[in-house]
Structure 1
Amino acid sequence: MNFMARKDKDNHEKKNKKGKKHMKKKAMIHAIISAFQASPKEPVNYKQISKIIGVESQQEKLWVCDILNTLAEDDFLIEVDRGRYRLNELETIAVGTFERRSNGKNSFLPEDGGTPIFVAERNSGHAMDGDKVKVQLLARRKGCPSEAEVVEILEHQQGTFVGTLQVTKGFAFLVTENKKLANDIFIPKDKLKGGKNGQKAIVRIMEWPENAKNPLGEVLDILGEAGQNNTEMHAILAEFGLPYQYPESVEKAAEKITDTITQEEINAREDFRNITTFTIDPKDAKDFDDALSIRRLPNGNWETGVHIADVTHYVKPGSTIDKEAESRATSVYLVDRTIPMLPERLCNQICSLRPDEEKCCFSAIFEMDEEANVKNSRIVRTVIKSDRRFTYEEAQNIIETGEGDYKEEILAMNALAKKLRERRFKNGAINFDRYEVKFEIDEKGKPISVYFKESKDANKLVEEFMLLANRTVAEFVGKAPKGKTKKTFVYRIHDLPDPEKMENFASFIRRFGYKLKTEGSKSDVSKGINKLLDQVQGKREENLIETVAIRAMAKAVYSTVNVGHYGLAFEYYTHFTSPIRRYPDMMVHRLLERYLSGGRSVTQKKYEEICKHCSAMEQTAANAERASIKYKQVEFMSDKLGMIFDGVISGVTEWGLYVEINENKCEGLVPIRDLDGDYYEFDDKNYCLTGRRTKKQYRLGDPLTIKVVQANLERKQLDFTIAE
């Protein structure tokens, strides 16, 4: 709209009637800025701008003059000639990614890095989350954050949304709780795909017309009735862009794979079929991708074997199954189900190291003395036959009582594992030993109780031998002989903690009376963290301090560039031991096979791209898993409204306090608006809310008694209030 059109409109709407109140200065500044942004090219004087914003009194016009001068001093406006101003448009155009948020706090992420820039909804051009966009950087006022306006959408992210259908006679809407979209999606009747009122659906946005309040969408799939367990679990997967069905073509390809191992194949492998071998897994596991073997050698040392399912013997690069596995990158573990990376025929049958069945493996074999020093090791393809499938509970019982099947072998491996573990911590590995919250669910998927899964000696036994195998494989490729170039490989890396985060962490724990050294060598810092974790064990603040310590750490990722694994204190580390559920392990198996047979190095760029994809998918899968836990927590608490529980403040944000209930670890929000008697300000460095008047503080880790007031399954949120 040009200035003259605006003038007519405003004159019509904003005639200054007798007794009209003066416009407040803050509102006037906002109105002037909006007017210039609406018509950035046209220069105007103070009289014209006064008319546009509906100002008529002499006093207000003098304010307009002052504001125009100030905005010109701030470089927001340019004085093109005496008394006439226009917007100081920066000619800067940038390209990057648009991030949409339902609260209107959209942002633009420049593709060459740098700080995110705020994009007001009126300047978003209806760009969707993840779209590649071109923006114009707007003139910046002193003391105000930078802003940008979307001028072109270069590439649409294929955006799908999950929600509940509201179907009326002539049309429908998808109502979504998605944090990236504030508006419901309008669905024409012919795009409903048979969807009915109250059903959950996946909808794709087709377009968002310029003057429309709502985007237009079409239903891609109907998930089922809202509230049903299957529907809700599929909705969580779809929400994170994860598959909830297996393509028929991939299942058919898996059915054609033979499970027969030929004699020729057995002859090409080391034969471990007559050596004591067993698996130790959770009681509900079906995909056994690792087995352990042990025997005493004539020289008195132990030969231990870590045998890993030889998935890549069956799944060839570029095949239908391989492409699907690469796309998924990982199996996803929701509360009540596993969404496998590989078809069931492979992961639960052919490749699974089931007892009394001959299986192809890729193995790391170690000769160890009584002190668990590795004297020799080799990485070979093998054929095995597991003698026994142990659950963790069964193996733990043997460790504790000294009685049971293969007790000598289990006890010997446990003794070696304890020495490996002790040495690892001595070298600076960090001992995060946290419990997992698990649900016991009925046949309909409803949670009936909560229990905590702790890591005991049987879990640690398996963990230590897997770590040993992963480290050995990484060293085999990564430690290039003198004068030889290192070959491209897939590493699991964990960078050093961010110094600023560590400093904040050290200052946070001082309030609990603990000290932490944040400078010195890598092992000095990690040993300090371990000492702290020992000190807090069994204390009220144990879980809190562990949580904040983890937040200060970098995230472990996959990369072809090795920087070592800080948390484990290993210079070389990879993922070799779970190819049934992780694609990087399949990549490692293929690279090992290539390099063991003298093959040349692969192209780094291609493998680095796959590493980035696998890291991203791992994070997405973890988010989906957390969402499923959150859903089950809300479902579990939905019949406990009005009940009072003791808890601890587990999170502090600008919108309220998160409180974790002690007895079941379910977490809910006490909104900041419900903190009575004061205005509370958020202190992000000290993890607390402080009352402006009373100075009362709510701090991370403080005990708090709460009452359950709402359980919103759609938002996966529990709302609490502080109990009187």
Structure 2
Amino acid sequence: MIEKKNITGRYQGSGRGFGFFIPEDGAGRGDDSFVPPRRENGAWDGDTVEAAVEADPSQPGRSTARITKIVERGNKTVTGIIQKLNHEVWLRPDSDRLPAAIKVVGKAKVREGEKAAVAVTSYGSAKTPPLGTLKETFGPAGSRAAAVEAVLYQLDIQREFPEPVSAEASAVPQKVSAPQRKGRLDLREKTIITIDGASSKDLDDAVSLEQDDKGNWVLGVHIADVSHYVHPGAPLDLEAFHRGTSVYFADQVVPMLPVALSNGICSLNPQVDRLALSCLMTLDKTGALLDHTIAASVIRSTERMTYEDCNVLLSGGDKTLEERYARILPMLRDMAALARALEKRRKARGSLDLDSAESYIVCDDAGRPVDIVARSQGESEKLIESFMLIANETVAKHLFDLKKAAVYRVHEKPSQDKTETLKAMLSPLGYAIKEADNASLQKVLESVKGKPEAPAVNMMVLRSLMKARYDVENLGHFGLAAPFYCHFTSPIRRYPDLMVHRCLHALLEGKLGPAGEKKLAKSCEKAAVQSSQREIAAQSAERDIDKLYFAEYMLDHLGETFDAAVSGVTKFGLFAALPSGVEGLIPVESLPEDRYVYDETRMTLTGERANRVFTFGMALQVVCVAADPSTGRVDFRLPGMEDAPGRAAPAVKPLPVPGKKKPQGGRPQGKAPGKRRGSGKPAMHVPKGRRKGKKG
């Protein structure tokens, strides 16, 4: 049997003795290999490793791997719960894919049951336990607050700014001076408005609309010129680069920039001068782009509008509001008409119209979740989205045509593996596609609108898409069917936008020589990699923390029945999602008594005797039977099955005896477990939108 040597990839542990090797150049799950017990060679879940892979003669089409080298450790710090045994301190990791316990060495003044983080100093062996030193404590392990702080710590998301960063931010003047206005396009007399959520304080984009002498539209998208205040290599810049993005969850934000900038001088507040980069686009009545100008500008926002008020104004439902905003109402109506034209053009070229609502967690004054509201887009939200999208496309093409350095937002077409999976999942519902191209996918989405299976099909298509990321090479944006795309519109909260602004300033000022351009290109490369990584961390934090709030909210709704849809199918049960976004597990043991067969490709659980089939996306009712705010776990049951067995409540396992070998789990019977890249839940292909509803 011939082995392939030194294939690099990632090890994914299971917590049951076996694991999986995921090659870094793999096209999908079909390229993953099963790692039997005792062949992980000390690797932990998340480690970058090298492995020898060979075909598995017992299972055609499958392969097994033996980890030969650990290239880089993925768990340099670990969070968990403190336990004490015989005057020794141990950390029980939160992740059940990691070793059972880590011995805490050195001085560690902690209490039993505290949530804590340790830095791993030794990864142990068959005879010795892993070792670590205490880095941080977060409070009692059973609290949601401690769990939130542990998530942020684990993902290196820091609430506080280092002192040099805060000092630099505090020193930034909070007014625009005359010398700063010099050489900029003066747009202060133009009618320019911001439209944001009512609670938003970091207003980084404003819009304007007027007609030229030919009757064409001149759309202005004016973005806060953060790059004027954040200079390359300065403490503010280094910290913003490290953070990469702001992180939003529940009623809180961990900003990329200190509030002196994000809510102060960089926020396009009304009736004050602000520095901006303006993209002025000339469009005909159909929304076709005829010409554009990009300029460093100074603006003075006329009105600070909210989505809520704009939606009322555009529906004509409030005479008092119409009188209050009589000056801008005609422009607002024209904006809505132009936005509809732009949306029509996007759909015509194949932009995917995915119905993926977000949830908004409403908290009381003490920060406790009291409601979960499904956020839907109104006309003003769609208006801003359309304007931000066309500005991003215009700036991307501008930089590409001039062959200058840039950071693009790229989204590649679905892989063959994902396409085949989508075909198999759509087939039982009566939908067929030959290829997962824009036209085919949009045709399916259009044909399913208004039908009971619409949520399921939307989830299936969403799950089939690749993940958007940042790159210095323009690869286009599949989901938007845009040949050129970048992020230009949110430099307060995203570092790639800040880099795009620097690229534009370099063009406008024309002062960079060959050496300067080479340095800027190198900075773009670093920013693309770092920002992609920090975006993933931010999304993970937002998702994990939202689950904690969801679970706390569901504590007040135990025993209640809810409409839901199956959002994930695994060997061990079903994940069901409520319209609010709350998701919980229905263990396979609690389903109507039967022997259930799991189909990984079609994502179904089928009872062999009663032939009852549970499919991805199917509608059902569920009863909430348990919720744990410290873990984010929510447990559901089918109505009438509330007392059915399921996973036992989390229990504190006995600590391992040092030097005693941990029992290894045997290889599962039959085929190797199929779902190992998560729970089978849909993965967003674009980053979670700004909590103000903007997707640009």
Question: For the structure 1 residues 152 and 676, does the alpha-carbon distance in structure 2 shift closer, same or farther, using more than 3 Å as the test?
Answer: same
The match for 2:380 is 458
Within-5 A mapping of 1:157-306: 157=74, 159-167=76-84, 170-188=87-105, 190-192=106-108, 194-212=109-127, 214-306=129-221
Which residue does 2:528 correspond to in 1? 611
> Hey, what does 2:588 align to over in structure 1?
672
Q: Matches of 2:156 and 2:20 in 1, distance apart?
A: 22
CA contact (8 A) 1:292 1:307 kept: yes
Displacement of 1:550 after TM fit? 0.8
Q: CA RMSD in A?
A: 2.7
User: Aligned pair 1:492/2:381, yes or no?
Assistant: no
Q: Secondary structure at the match of 2:556?
A: coil
- 2:144–2:549 contact (8 Å) kept in structure 1: no
**Aligned equivalent of 2:355, options 429, 433, 442:** 433
Q: Structure 1's 508 and 219: CA in aligned 2 closer, same or farther, altered over 3 A?
A: same
Is 1:575 matched up with 2:487? yes
Native 8 Å contact 1:436 1:454 kept in 2: yes
Do structure 1's residue 687 and structure 2's residue 603 form an aligned pair?
yes
Partners of 2:478 and 2:53 in 1: how far apart? 40
Does 280-289 or 693-702 show the bigger shift? 693-702
Task: Tell me the residue number matched to 1:347.
Answer: 262
Aligned to 1:375: 290
Is 2:229 the partner of 1:317? no
Query: 1:539, CA displacement in angstroms?
Result: 2.7
Query: Quick one: structure 1 residues 90 and 392, their matched pair in 2 at CA, closer, same or farther if it must change by over 3 Å?
Result: closer
Structure 2 counterpart SS, 1:122: coil
More divergent stretch after superposition (145-154 vs 706-715): 145-154
Please, which runs of 5 or more residues in structure 2 have no aligned partner?
Answer: 641-696
Q: Distance in 2 between matches of 1:134 and 1:700?
A: 35
Match of 1:529 among 441, 448, 458: 441
Instruction: Tell me how far apart the structure 2 counterparts of residues 536 and 95 of structure 1 sit (CA, whole Å).
Output: 42
- C-alpha separation in 2, matches of 1:701 and 1:131: 33
Shift in CA distance, 245/264, structure 1 to aligned 2, threshold 3 Å: closer
5+ residue gaps in structure 1?
Answer: 1-74, 76-88, 481-485, 520-524
Deviates more, 1:608-617 or 1:93-102: 93-102
Q: Find the aligned partners of 2:55 and 2:339 in 1 and give their Cα distance.
A: 63
Q: Bigger CA drift: 407-416 or 204-213?
A: 204-213
Q: CA deviation at 1:386?
A: 0.9
1:412 to 300, 312, 334: 334
**Partner in structure 1 of residue 303 of structure 2:** 388
Q: Is the 8 A contact 1:433 1:455 kept in 2?
A: no
* CA distance in 2 between partners of 1:137 and 1:566 (Å): 33
Partner of 1:646: 563
- Residues 238 and 244, structure 1, Cα contact 8 Å, conserved in 2: no
Structure 2 partner of 1:362: 277
Q: Is the CA contact 1:177–1:714 (under 8 Å) kept in the aligned structure 2?
A: no
Matched residue, 1:699: 615
* Aligned counterpart, 1:477: 399
| Cα shift at 1:153 | 4.2
Q: Which deviations, in whole Å up to 9, do the C-alpha atoms of 1:9-53 show, x marking residues without a partner?
A: xxxxxxxxxxxxxxxxxxxxxxxxxxxxxxxxxxxxxxxxxxxxx
Cα offset, 1:372, TM superposition: 3.4
Indicate the residue corresponding to 2:498 in structure 1: 586
CA contact (8 A) 2:408 2:487 kept: yes
CA distance 1:355–1:229, change in 2 (3 Å): farther
Partner SS, residue 473 of structure 2: coil
- Give yes or no for contact 2:144–2:552 (8 Å, CA) kept in 1: no
- The CA deviation at 1:535 is 3.1
Task: After TM superposition, give the deviation of residue 106 of structure 1 in Å.
Answer: 2.8
Contact 2:472–2:524 at 8 Å: present in 1 too?
Answer: yes
Question: Hey, what's the Cα distance between the residues in 1 that align with 2:468 and 2:175?
Answer: 38
**1:111-161 C-alpha deviation (Å, 9 max, x unpaired):** 676944444453434333444555566897654865555555454446111
DSSP-derived class of the 2:90 partner? strand
CA separation in 1, counterparts of 2:389 and 2:80? Answer: 42
| 1:273/1:680 CA distance change after superposition, 3 Å | same
Percent identity between matched residues is: 34
- Pick closer, same or farther for the CA change 1:529–1:167 going to 2, 3 Å: same
Is the Cα contact below 8 Å between 1:275 and 1:294 reproduced in 2? Answer: no
- Following the alignment from structure 2 to structure 1, what is the Cα–Cα distance between the partners of residues 435 and 529? 30
SS of aligned partner of 1:378: strand
Find the aligned partners of 1:708 and 1:139 in 2 and give their Cα distance.
Answer: 44
Instruction: Give the whole-Å Cα distance in 1 for the aligned partners of 2:375 and 2:58.
Output: 54
Conservation of the 8 A alpha-carbon contact between 2:147 and 2:631: no
The TM-score with structure 2 as length reference comes to 0.83
Letter in 2 for 1:632: Y
- Verify the 8 A CA contact 2:287 2:345 in the aligned structure 1: no
Deviations 1:583-609 (A, max 9, x none): 111111111111233445436566334
TM-score (norm 1): 0.80
Instruction: Describe the SS at the equivalent of 2:124.
Output: coil
- Contact map agreement 2:250 2:362 (CA 8 A) in 1: no
Greater Cα offset, 563-572 or 240-249? 240-249
Q: Which residue of 2 aligns with 1:657?
A: 574
SS in 2 for 1:602: helix
Partners in 1 of 2:182 and 2:211 — Cα distance? 24
Q: Residue in 2 aligned with 1:721?
A: 637
- The CA deviation string for residues 280-329 of structure 1, in whole angstroms up to 9 with x for no partner, is 11122111110112334444444321110101101111111111111111
Measured in 1, the distance between the counterparts of 2:362 and 2:202 equals: 21
Give me the whole-angstrom Cα distance separating, in 2, the residues matched to 1:213 and 1:435.
49
SS at match of 1:638: helix
- CA shift for structure 1 position 562: 1.4
| C-alpha distance after superposition, 1:218-246 (max 9, x if no partner) | 21111223344543322221233332332
Paired residues of 2:7 and 2:50 also in contact (CA < 8 A) = yes
Q: Which residue of 2 aligns with 1:636?
A: 553
What is the number of equivalent residue pairs in this alignment? 624
d(CA) in 2 for partners of 1:653, 1:352? 46
Are residues 1:518 and 2:435 paired?
yes
Q: In the aligned structure 2, how far is the partner of 1:196 from the partner of 1:437?
A: 36
The offset of 1:503, in angstroms, is 4.5
CA distance in 2, matches of 1:111, 1:459: 38
The answer to which structure has the higher helix fraction is: 1
- Shifted more, 681-690 versus 93-102: the winner is 93-102
